Amino acid sequence: MNLRQFFLIVRGRWRVLVATFLTVVALVVGATLLLPKQYTATASVVADNNKSDPVTPVTLQSDPQSFMLTQVGILTSDRVTMEAARSLHYESTDLYHRWENSKHGNLDFTAWFAKLLRKAVRVSGGAEGNIIEISAQWTDAQKSADIANAIAQAYLTTSIALKTQPAQQYAGLFNDRARELRADLQAKQQRLVDFQNEKGIIPTDERIDVESARLAELSTQQVVVQGQRQDSQSRQRQIAGHADSSAEVLQSALIANLKAQVATDEAKQQDLATNLGVNHPEYKRLEAEIVSLRRRIELESNRIAASLHDSTEIVMRREADVNAAVEAQKRRLLELKQSRDQAGLLQNDIVVAQRNLDAVTQRLAQSSLEGQVEQSNAVLLAAATAPDEPSSPNLPINGVVGVFFGLVLGVGAVLLAELLNGRVRAKEDLEEALEGVPVLAKIAAIPWDRGYHGAKVAGLLSAGS
């Protein structure tokens, strides 16, 4: 079929085309007039992905596209629509009847109404900018505005909740942890106090310095006593072998006097031996006196030696006492240092526990503040208002659509009728129908009349045959 044949078919069956076209247009216009009116209200919000946190002065940045997709996802989520459904509190008898007659399992009215809202709400925008539009379509103008505003407010509330709920959960976790750390800190502090009481350690005690000084003093005494003991032993050995030449004997005034007297008597005795002879009574008396003096010198030397021995023993006992005192002082100082080290370890445990508690307490305070911040990354830009005109059904648009589909269906009806009951309308139709039989003549178009013209045409056709 070429274009000429198509136009001939349409011209031949124009009544079918017009009837189909008028029927379709009438149906579309009638449906438009009979359908209930729908009103569309739009609210808009601004979502900012570069917003500073008022608690922690850090600018939070994210990919704009993913951020806006996330916000659109939140807007269309069940949580937002459920929150909006609860906030609207619609008590429409018609809605309740629709809910009761619906087949949605065990859904309560709020869940069913939220499902209805998801079908009535459209979210657009956010592809290139930060503005998101929330459109709600309903049979009532005011209710459409209420639904759009309820969705916007539920979105803002949900945005705040999504930000504050994790912070509140962290605050609860940090609070429990802080309680545990506080109890641990108190236990460690009590352990340190008990240990200090047991060991007699005072926090400001300087006993370790005093004990160290005491040990140094005892060490000095030990050195002195050791020197005295060595000197005493040396003198004791010296006096044991050569008592006359020992320093103690030589330094004794009594022995010196006795030796001087012996020397004087010996000189007299020598004179008497020369003048009177060794048998003279005076000589004998001097000899006996010299012997007595010598015995006194010997006794005095032995007494000095004995005193040196006693002095050595005293020095040795004193050295032993000093040595024992030094060892005891060392042990005491070592125990004191060990106690101080143990107390230092306990004190370090307290410092670490206090540091951990301070860190958790700081995080607790920050999380508590974050959980109380009623601020999100989105704000309401424009609230929805009740529209003056319905958004659907739109008579002009539906009329254009009816005209278009009327023409399409009319042409389709014409072609279908031609296919079912075809006519010869051009030379090409005869050539196709007679399979190559040549056309001998072509009669011009003659107005059809049952009278004269009809008979004339019939006669011409008979003559030709």
> DSSP assignment of 269-283, as one string?
HHHHHHHT-TTSHHH
Q: How far apart are CA 245 and CA 236, in angstroms?
A: 12
What token pair was written down for 12? Answer: 């031949």
- Segment 182-210 shows an average pLDDT of 74
- Segment 237-248 shows an average pLDDT of 57
Longest Cα separation, the chain: 232
Is the pLDDT at 317 greater than 60? The verdict is yes
- Segment 180-195 shows an average pLDDT of 84
Helices (H), 127-206: 141-199
Write down the pLDDT at residue 425: 66
Is the pLDDT at 251 greater than 50? The verdict is yes
Write down the pLDDT at residue 242: 54
- Segment 65-90 shows an average pLDDT of 83
- CA angle, residues 97, 103, 105, in degrees to nearest 5: 115
Is the pLDDT at 362 greater than 80? The verdict is yes
Q: Structural domain boundaries of the chain?
A: 3-172+372-402, 207-370
- Segment 424-445 shows an average pLDDT of 66
Write down the pLDDT at residue 452: 45
pLDDT: is 378 or 215 the higher one? Answer: 378
Is the pLDDT at 462 greater than 60? The verdict is no
- Segment 450-456 shows an average pLDDT of 47
Q: How far apart are CA 43 and CA 141, in angstroms?
A: 14
- Percentage of the residues of the chain whose pLDDT score is greater than 90: 0
pLDDT digits (tens, 9 = 90+) for 285-297: 877 888 887 788 7
**pLDDT confidence bin for 458, thresholds 50/70/90:** very low
**pLDDT confidence bin for 435, thresholds 50/70/90:** low
Highest mean pLDDT (candidates 103-107, 324-328, 438-442): 324-328
